[in-house]
Amino acid sequence: MYNLILFGPPGSGKGTQAQLLVDKHDFLHISTGDMFREELSRNTPLGQEARSYMDAGHLVPDEVTIAMLRKRVDQHPDVTGIIFDGFPRTDPQAAALNDLMREKDTQINALILLDVDVDTIVQRILGRAATSGRADDLKEDVIRTRYRNFVNYTSPVYDFYDELGLARRVDGTLTPEAVAAEIDAIIGEGLQND
């Protein structure tokens, strides 16, 4: 089993690359955003618990998010690998994810940062705004704030995995096919080392 974290700011191409990996390797793609939306729309017990925090204006605690991740992983015991997209966002979440993987007798094999500069991110998100329907995709200042928030609050997770020797950078400004080739090379190296 090969497990990786696709990491990068909004608009870096994580969704595109995740779909390419699912198509090629039959990996399970776990997007925490999609996972939350599904749990909320189905009004599951975990969704109800998350909603209670969100309705009060609070962040959903890591324990609830990890419980959702555990549920999703448990629903797919025979996958060849898992792509985590949008999680972890903090060092404590990274430690919790590593604990979950150990419980499942596996591990995170790589964190792959799709490295994209802020100006490219702005162009991409403004370009997709016509189809995304997201209000936060329409304003350049909001996009730049989202990018800064990633750099300031989420990028330390890269250092967490770098200290474990698992963090890799890929130039996310390349074509989707070139990015996919670099990611495949990283996965290939990891599979050879197992």
Active site residue 146: yes
Model confidence, pTM? 0.88
When pLDDT is averaged across residues 94-101 and rounded to a whole number, the result is: 94
CATH superfamily of 2-193: P-loop containing nucleotide triphosphate hydrolases (3.40.50.300)
HEC per residue, 14-75: HHHHHHHHHHHHCCEEEEHHHHHHHHHHCCCHHHHHHHHHHHCCCCCCHHHHHHHHHHHHHC
> Would you list the domain boundaries of the chain?
2-193
Active site residue 14: yes
Task: Supply the pLDDT for residue 116.
Answer: 96
The 10s digit of each residue's pLDDT in 131-175 is 777 776 888 998 999 899 899 888 899 999 999 999 999 999 999
Task: Supply the pLDDT for residue 191.
Answer: 74
134 known member of a binding site: yes
Res. 107: pLDDT tops 90: yes
Active site residue 128: yes
Task: Supply the pLDDT for residue 30.
Answer: 94
- Cα–Cα nearest to 1, from 80, 77, 76: 80
14 known member of a binding site: yes
Task: Supply the pLDDT for residue 194.
Answer: 62
Residue in 71, 102, 128, 139 annotated catalytic = 128
Res. 12: pLDDT tops 90: yes
The 10s digit of each residue's pLDDT in 20-61 is 999 999 999 999 888 888 888 899 998 888 888 878 877 788
- Which backbone phi and psi does 155 adopt, to 5 degrees? -60, -25
When pLDDT is averaged across residues 5-16 and rounded to a whole number, the result is: 93
Active site residue 71: no
When pLDDT is averaged across residues 107-114 and rounded to a whole number, the result is: 96
